Structure 1
Amino acid sequence: MTLEEQLINKTYYKVTYMNEQEEKHPIQVLGDAYLLEQRNELPDLSYIRYAQGEVYFQFKDFEAAIFKWENITNELQPWARKNMADAYLELGLVTDAEEMYLSIHTESPTLHAEVSLQLFSLYLEQGKIDKADKVIKEVVSLTPDYPNVTEIARRFYEEQEKVQDAVELAVNEAIRTESLKWSQFVNEYVQKGWTKTYKPEYFMEFIPAVHQVDQKCFEQIVASLWNSYKQEDLYLKWLKELNTVLSKLELQKNARISSLYKEAYIELIDGQFYIKEISSIIPDHLSNWQRVSVSTDQIFASSAILAWSEMFPASLDLGVVSDAEYNICHTSKLDNVLSHCHQLFESITKWAEDHELGVGHKMKWMVQQLMDCNVHHLMVAGPTGNGKSSFINSILGENILKPSTSSLIMFKDNEALNMTEITDSGSKRIADFSDFYQITASQLQTKVIDFHLPSDFLHKNGLALIDAPSFQGSTKSRNDFFDYLQLADGLVFVLNANVPFTDKECDILLQIQKFAPSLPIYFVLNKIDTIYSEHEANSVIEETESRLSEYFPSAKVFPYSSVYNSEEQSEQLSEFVKIDHNQDVLQQGRTEKLLYLIRQLITDLLEKRVKMETDIVKSISWNEDIAGRLNGALHQLRDLESEKMEHIQTEYQMMEEEIRNEVINTIPTILKGCTDFIKEDSDFRHIHNELNDEMNNRVQDYLHNDILPKYYGQLKKWIATSNSEFNQSKEYLDEMCESLNKLYGEERLKLEFDFRVIDDWSRDADRMTNAVRFEKINILSRNTPTQLLLKGAGKLFGGIPQNKSMLYNKYKSLVDNEDYYGVAVIIANKFMQQFDLFEKGLDRDISMFFHNPLSVLEQTIAETYEKIKRQNEILQNLRANPEKYKDPITLFEVRLRQNEWIKDVGKETQPVY
């Protein structure tokens, strides 16, 4: 046992003083030694006192121990102080213990570690986590190899959930100690998600260290870190850093890591990233993938390398490409390549739909048919007049087809009849044969019809029969035919026994052979029943086969009669067109066809991208033009509103002024005519009030019986004129609206005036002219000198008979000579008051009439400008970021080439460099 171990365990006294004296008590032994040492000339009692302190400590006499240790002056003093602190701690004097521990200064790593661990425990018990954290970090930094220090630190970090400290401790210790245990701790932390905030480069020294220690742990660490960075912003950085590190290591084949490489590669080229983002990652990624790949993954890795090298020459090391070529040539074929190609098609479709470059439903339908490997597709083709339709009808046992249709029809066996029309925009069920014949008769474009019906021939032979559009000689019809030829596993070409194998048919067949060289072709010589004799029929068959053999050496001809159909003929035909039902052969053929469709889809998407920009430019121009027209229409409508408002209000004001003037001019006459009310025998004491009442009554009668009917008539006339003005506005607007809707190509604008205004005016006219509530006014009681004098005289002298003649003449003179203009104006103003209020509301009413069209135009203009703004933003984005569309399509082409390489696994290849 070393001295430090003795001091740590407080057993210094045993080793130093108790040798061969174990039968004696330590106190006695040390007491004897103490007395003996005192006899020396220069006694050194520190060692004995230190040992005595240990004994007292063992027997829990902590105060005696402290007393002994206080007097240590030699090299054991730091340890004595540490022991004193331990004793204080045992006595519960925590503060004294802490102060004592902190006062110890030593160059001994062991003592420093022991003191630090004691302080750590003390702080932990007191709940002083920050101080405990500081102490443990210091001791780990200075003496990481001290027993249990790093383990204590690890447990502390985990218990306190100090994630970063735990991760960094484990990583550093794994690198420093090359310990499997610490690498496993790192893996545990990664799986808990504790490392997501770390940049990938943090682990790039750690990963090679694990690789050196244990391959299984290396696999686990790489997989855990890989999955932790997936779907995170640092994912690309992780791949780049990892591949840089792994390219320097001697890697072993590893299925799990290979699978991660495969998954990551598909993600990288699945249209989510720009080429510039991944171009620096892919080369090392592919190279490392090939090194770790196992079994079938090696085919994917090698094919990916060859495809990438073709698209981006010189980006990969020639040795890597050569290894990939070797693997492709010397590896067994991969199962279910068709399924992998279909995954590519689905990826492209999803990307296209996400970027408004939708894939036509017709192409989706074709791919769906290719994926159904339970049914073989037999296409029937031939020029018009060869009896193709009657041949198919005879096979199906139903008179379904009519000659010369422009449709492609796929007949499938099914328990119930069901017909569906397939277009690029979607699918639509065909209700009955009437609709079916109407659709197939259309020559505007090639229609696709999915036709399900009960059929013994199709069921028995596991076939779907495809009626190809008849050749009409046009380039488009032939191109359509060649596109649909991708559906066929075999082709029946119908010849006419009367004119077999014409030059036109030869031209068609050679084009088919050029387009689909591996497609089996079966020749049916239809209308054989029209040949007069069996000898002549055999001669026609032999001659036809002979001519066909010049171009198709293995061609056979099957004579057929659509008229005299029989069970025997049907069975012979089944045997003649019997397709190889080997699933591998079928899937290989379907794979080639699907790859062709994918390449066509990629080409279409590139064209759509160009067309998209062109369409946006045209749309912006068109919308700018329509916005100009709409603005013009809006200005014209506002001018029309102002014009109609001014005209209608002016007409009303003229009518109102005419009535007002008439009332003002007529009322004085009416009032003067009241002289006939004055009689010589009148009671002049009350005549003043009576005459005033009479005047008011006559005015009331005039207004009610003369003015109101006249005003009502003029109002009705004014309303009719206004209505005519409004109708003129409507006619003008209808023409404008029709012109704009023609530009839209639809009933986009619907501008309607609010003719309820006319109804409101009519009701107001009835209300205003129905009756006038006329409040009496003082016509003769206005306190003028004459009136006051006359009124007083009447009261004073009205009862005297001889004065009546005089008063009679005076009152007549007063009534006849009075100036009634002011009274007439007052009466006219009161009478016209409600009509004036009506006039004030005219501008509001006319505005309401024009409100809806103006509002619709303003809203449409705003929507148009908003659309122009959005389209300009889209256009700028397209032009500023052409890679947004170009790069994903290029990467889809890389995946397409990869699948083409996979399809050709096992074949000899030409170098791609």
Structure 2
Amino acid sequence: MKLEEQLIYKEYYISFLEGKEGDHPVAILGDAYFKEQEKERFDLSYIRFAQGEVYYHHKDYETAIFKWGQIQNELQGWARKNMGDAYFELGMFTNAEELYKSIKTDNSTLQSEIALQLFTLYIKEGRQHFANDTIQKALSLNPDYPNVTTIARTFFEENSDWVNAVKLAMEEAIRTESLSWFDLFKSYVREGRVRHLQPIEYKEMLIILYKLDQHRFEDLIIAIWDEYKHQNLSFTWLWNMNELILQLDLQQDDVWNHLPLLYRETYNELLQGVYPIGDLKEAMPNLLSAWVKITDDEQRLYASSALIAWNEVFPSTISEASVYNAEQLVRRGGMEKRALEKCIQVFESIQEWAGNQRVETDTRLRWLIQELANFQTQHLMVIGTEPSKKPSMFQMLFGDQVMGDFPSKAIMMYSDFDDIDIREMTYTYERDISGLSEFYDTIENAENIEQSLFDFKLPNHFLQKHALTLVDTPELDQHVDWQETFRYIPFADQVLFLLNAETPLNEQKCEVIKKTKEISRDIPIHFFLNIDSIPSDKVEEVVKETEKTIKEYAKDAPLRTFTKNNQRQLLQDLEEVSSSFSIEESSRVKKILYYLQMLVSSMWQQRTDIENDYMDRIHWNQDMQERLNGAIHQLKDLEEDKTNKLTTSYSQIFDEIKKELMEKIPNILRECTDIIKEESDFRTMHDKLNQVMNERVQNYLQHTTLPLVHRSFQEWIQTSKEEFDQAQNFLNDMCDGFNFMYGEERLKFDCDYKILDDWHRDGERMTVRAQLENENILNWQSPSQMFLKSAGKILGALQQNQLFLKNQFKKFIENHDYEDVTKSIMTKFFIPFDLFGQSLDRDIKAFFKQPFDVLVQEEKTVQALVVDNERKLAELRTNSELFEDPLNLFKVRLHQYSNMVNIEEVYEYGI
């Protein structure tokens, strides 16, 4: 065992035991101690150091400390470290820490041991911060020291210190080039522990890993890629990772299992329109170049065509060398599998985007694309220059009853169906046409009929047998917009060009033939010559002359003749044309790409329309907001007017009744003198009078005043209903006006007529009975009342005083001022009516609450629409890329798919 290992494990004492294995170490060391002292020049430090180790192993820590404390030679550093270990075992952590920190040594092993002991001490005391600093120091001193990296990793993981754990794994992977550290780092990536790292920090490690193990390199890149996929740093990662791929000296025999597919998925995701073009321009060139560099045979065509397409839409963003290399790969790549499926996916994406952006797409183009995706049907287009000849041919096929007698001004698509089913399509709409009568009327009278496309389905054996759609176009004379017809030519699988032998092929007709051939290119053209109008002996001459002219423009196009009286021959010729052709996927994909590009191009023109639409919406909603605000003010005025009218009329009712009572009650009280008789007991007369007065007043209120109040209250409710009806009618008119402007039944104003029911119920309750507490009319403590009351009690016992008392009482009653008493009675009587009157404002407000709430909410809704449209308009004006970027990306995809099907040239109006 080496000396340092003996010192680490405190087994230095074993060096004294050689040849003396039978004796106890203490005895052996004690004997050595005495023998050393017998020397003339002796050094006991080594023996004491060894003795300390023995005592330590036997847990005699104090003796061990004493022995180690005597060491002064080169073992002093180890001795002090051992003393710290002993204090640690004794639980004297402070002493141990002080000793560890006091040791000064250049010995790297001792330094590492001290650091590890301090680390253990700090863990024991729960001082995690100090433990972290110490293990970091141990790593920096000697990362190769046994178990240091293992201890550090365990510590970091147990404390969820993923920053340091990841740092350790990365540094050790780079330093040791051990695959186990790379595997550990990948596990951290999978667990989401590396999100604090910047993409550039992976570079050195990935370069090393590629040299060590290409498959692990691929797995790690994929793991990191997945981690960054939905983070803000994703584009930074893509740039750095692709830069790395391009810098690496990749070998031809490298086999990539998953990376090419990940590139494809990422590319497709980036083209979904989620990210700004500005970001894509930074990341895409490197991504495409790196993808082509590592792609396998299965992905090569897709990747190469994507690179070329990107450079076509965004020129000079990719190096010429990369573009050239991609072009070579495309040329020998063959046709991409599922090309049609990919085109349809683009079509669906365009439709979805257009729907979300409120962008109109051409209904006719959408229909054409969907029809082209059906490989079971062949499209045979008929073109002619003679207004009178094409209808006759179609009448031969479909009959006079269906076709009528008119030249077509629109594009007609005839196909087989169980019954007649007709649909008209224009740029902006499509509609079903109910029967031939409406169809004829539309053809003859509709404006801009030449802009329409008709899908005409009808039962027809010939079309069914040959799975054929027959496309009829307007006659190409000087009165027809040729361009509108020519845009449909790529839809055809074959073209039938009808000629009339009666009229020669003049310059205009030759120009039509030339243009048709230029546009159709690889679409077969068949010329049919109608010879009804020429003598039989002239047919051969006319046919040869016609063929000669045709060859100048369509070298391989055959010429056939037909007559309207020989339907059988015409059908045979059409059958021959139809059966001689088979639909190829590449041809259909080419046609779909043509119309997809046309669809995208048409949407580019709509930005101004969208901006104008936003402005119109803003102005319309602002106007509506002003109207709604005005309506709210009108409603407030209406509510205030009705409140004033109803509260005023209510007050007037009771003002009149109160005025009458102010006169009537005092008279009732004065009339009570009729109970004062000469024989009355004047000692209690004041009490009797008080009682009778109250009874007569209550009787009058119950039988006279309350019925009057009841009648007046009901009349007031009826008047209120009439006022409410007027208000409701006014609001109904207002509501109709708003709904007319909206074009829908959007608003509804329902005032709360339950208020009247509540008023009826309250009126019945308040006028059922007038029950008041007796009023103290004659028992007040006024001097006159007290005198009269006293006189009655004192003089009332003497008979000769009766007449006097009678006259005094009558005089008092007749001349007394009952104003205060009357007011008191009226106040008590009218309390419920006054409370009702005080709640009228609230009740009338409740009556108008629903219309008011509807108007306020609608104004908020309209205001929100104004704000939303202003925001969208501002975004459209300041962030034009929100509109343009997706369309550019659609163009990239369309260019890519054209490359994938090896289309070197496309139609005139195509890509």
Match of 2:578 in 1: 577
2:270 and 2:102 map into 1 onto residues whose CA distance is 61
Q: 2:269 is matched by which residue type in structure 1?
A: E
* 1:878 match: secondary structure: helix
| TM-score between the two structures when normalised by the length of structure 1 | 0.74
Match of 1:338 in 2: 340
Q: Is the 8 A contact 1:386 1:495 kept in 2?
A: no
Sort the Cα spacing of 1:132 and 1:455 in 2 relative to 1 into closer, same or farther, 3 A: farther
Shift of 1:621: 1.9
Match of 1:291 in 2: 293
Match of 1:196 in 2: 195
Shift of 1:619: 1.7
Shift of 1:624: 1.8
1:6 and 1:872 map into 2 onto residues whose CA distance is 83
2:795 and 2:51 map into 1 onto residues whose CA distance is 152
Sort the Cα spacing of 1:42 and 1:420 in 2 relative to 1 into closer, same or farther, 3 A: farther
Q: 1:237 is matched by which residue type in structure 2?
A: T
2:834 and 2:47 map into 1 onto residues whose CA distance is 127
Sort the Cα spacing of 1:766 and 1:510 in 2 relative to 1 into closer, same or farther, 3 A: farther
1:679 and 1:107 map into 2 onto residues whose CA distance is 135
Q: 2:524 is matched by which residue type in structure 1?
A: P
Quick check: 1:854 aligned with 2:856? no
Q: Is the 8 A contact 2:476 2:512 kept in 1?
A: no
Q: Is the 8 A contact 2:174 2:208 kept in 1?
A: yes
Sort the Cα spacing of 1:33 and 1:905 in 2 relative to 1 into closer, same or farther, 3 A: farther
Match of 1:173 in 2: 172
Quick check: 1:143 aligned with 2:142? yes
* 2:379 match: secondary structure: strand
1:851 and 1:46 map into 2 onto residues whose CA distance is 104
Greater CA deviation, 359-368 or 61-70? 61-70
Q: 2:207 is matched by which residue type in structure 1?
A: P
2:64 and 2:822 map into 1 onto residues whose CA distance is 132
Match of 2:493 in 1: 489
* 2:892 aligned to which of 865, 876, 894: 894
1:293 and 1:77 map into 2 onto residues whose CA distance is 65
* 1:317 aligned to which of 319, 323, 326: 319
1:214 and 1:791 map into 2 onto residues whose CA distance is 132
Sort the Cα spacing of 1:16 and 1:885 in 2 relative to 1 into closer, same or farther, 3 A: farther
Match of 2:630 in 1: 632
Q: 1:239 is matched by which residue type in structure 2?
A: L
Quick check: 1:208 aligned with 2:239? no
Residue pairs, 1:746-761, within 5 angstroms? 746-755=744-753, 757=755
1:810 and 1:792 map into 2 onto residues whose CA distance is 13
1:543 and 1:214 map into 2 onto residues whose CA distance is 75
Residue pairs, 1:390-401, within 5 angstroms? none
Shift of 1:202: 1.6
Sort the Cα spacing of 1:643 and 1:521 in 2 relative to 1 into closer, same or farther, 3 A: same
Percent identity among equivalent residues?
A: 34
* 1:746 match: secondary structure: coil
Q: 1:645 is matched by which residue type in structure 2?
A: T
1:159 and 1:673 map into 2 onto residues whose CA distance is 107
2:181 and 2:278 map into 1 onto residues whose CA distance is 38
Greater CA deviation, 842-851 or 8-17? 8-17
Q: 1:630 is matched by which residue type in structure 2?
A: L
Q: 1:600 is matched by which residue type in structure 2?
A: M
Shift of 1:239: 1.7
Q: Is the 8 A contact 2:502 2:534 kept in 1?
A: no
Match of 1:623 in 2: 621
Match of 1:520 in 2: 524
Q: State the Cα deviation string for residues 389-434 of structure 1 (Å, max 9, x = none).
A: 8866876899766677888776667899998888999999999999
Residue pairs, 1:400-411, within 5 angstroms? none
* 1:465 match: secondary structure: strand
Q: Is the 8 A contact 1:361 1:423 kept in 2?
A: yes
Sort the Cα spacing of 1:787 and 1:436 in 2 relative to 1 into closer, same or farther, 3 A: farther
Match of 1:232 in 2: 231
2:324 and 2:750 map into 1 onto residues whose CA distance is 76
1:46 and 1:819 map into 2 onto residues whose CA distance is 132
Residue pairs, 1:520-599, within 5 angstroms? 520-523=524-527, 552-556=554-558, 570=571, 572-578=573-579, 580-581=581-582, 583=584, 587-599=585-597
2:288 and 2:154 map into 1 onto residues whose CA distance is 41
Q: Is the 8 A contact 2:672 2:692 kept in 1?
A: no
Shift of 1:238: 1.1
Q: State the Cα deviation string for residues 141-167 of structure 1 (Å, max 9, x = none).
A: 223345665566557766776544443
- Alignment size in residue pairs: 890
2:691 and 2:22 map into 1 onto residues whose CA distance is 153
* 1:198 match: secondary structure: coil
Q: 1:852 is matched by which residue type in structure 2?
A: Q
2:520 and 2:776 map into 1 onto residues whose CA distance is 114
Sort the Cα spacing of 1:577 and 1:105 in 2 relative to 1 into closer, same or farther, 3 A: same
* 1:205 match: secondary structure: helix
1:464 and 1:341 map into 2 onto residues whose CA distance is 23
* 1:377 match: secondary structure: strand
2:426 and 2:879 map into 1 onto residues whose CA distance is 32
1:125 and 1:854 map into 2 onto residues whose CA distance is 73
2:647 and 2:31 map into 1 onto residues whose CA distance is 136
Match of 1:251 in 2: 250
Q: State the Cα deviation string for residues 460-490 of structure 1 (Å, max 9, x = none).
A: 53x3515557679999997775665554333
Match of 2:881 in 1: 883
Q: State the Cα deviation string for residues 337-374 of structure 1 (Å, max 9, x = none).
A: 33343444444444444555476776555444333334
Q: State the Cα deviation string for residues 279-325 of structure 1 (Å, max 9, x = none).
A: 33334334433433443544444444444444444444344344444
* 1:194 match: secondary structure: coil
2:816 and 2:3 map into 1 onto residues whose CA distance is 146
Shift of 1:447: 7.0
1:533 and 1:153 map into 2 onto residues whose CA distance is 107
1:312 and 1:270 map into 2 onto residues whose CA distance is 17
Shift of 1:201: 1.8
Shift of 1:575: 1.7
Sort the Cα spacing of 1:664 and 1:576 in 2 relative to 1 into closer, same or farther, 3 A: same
Shift of 1:649: 3.7
Q: State the Cα deviation string for residues 725-782 of structure 1 (Å, max 9, x = none).
A: 444444544444444333333333333444555566667677777x664779899978
2:765 and 2:55 map into 1 onto residues whose CA distance is 122
Q: Is the 8 A contact 2:174 2:204 kept in 1?
A: yes
1:541 and 1:603 map into 2 onto residues whose CA distance is 42
Sort the Cα spacing of 1:599 and 1:71 in 2 relative to 1 into closer, same or farther, 3 A: same
Quick check: 1:272 aligned with 2:274? yes
* 2:469 aligned to which of 458, 465, 481: 465
Shift of 1:273: 1.9
2:49 and 2:191 map into 1 onto residues whose CA distance is 50
2:5 and 2:516 map into 1 onto residues whose CA distance is 94
Shift of 1:241: 2.3
Match of 2:909 in 1: none
Q: 1:850 is matched by which residue type in structure 2?
A: F
Q: Is the 8 A contact 1:494 1:525 kept in 2?
A: yes
Q: Is the 8 A contact 2:340 2:589 kept in 1?
A: yes
Quick check: 1:376 aligned with 2:378? yes
Greater CA deviation, 352-361 or 638-647? 352-361
1:133 and 1:658 map into 2 onto residues whose CA distance is 96
Q: Is the 8 A contact 1:410 1:449 kept in 2?
A: yes
Q: Is the 8 A contact 1:191 1:224 kept in 2?
A: yes
Q: Is the 8 A contact 1:672 1:815 kept in 2?
A: yes
1:56 and 1:820 map into 2 onto residues whose CA distance is 123
Match of 1:911 in 2: none
1:389 and 1:319 map into 2 onto residues whose CA distance is 57
Shift of 1:534: 7.3
2:122 and 2:497 map into 1 onto residues whose CA distance is 94
2:234 and 2:60 map into 1 onto residues whose CA distance is 64
Q: Is the 8 A contact 2:343 2:897 kept in 1?
A: yes
Sort the Cα spacing of 1:857 and 1:387 in 2 relative to 1 into closer, same or farther, 3 A: farther
* 1:855 match: secondary structure: helix
1:73 and 1:823 map into 2 onto residues whose CA distance is 122
Shift of 1:274: 1.9
Superposition CA RMSD, Å:
6.3
1:604 and 1:894 map into 2 onto residues whose CA distance is 16
Shift of 1:819: 8.1
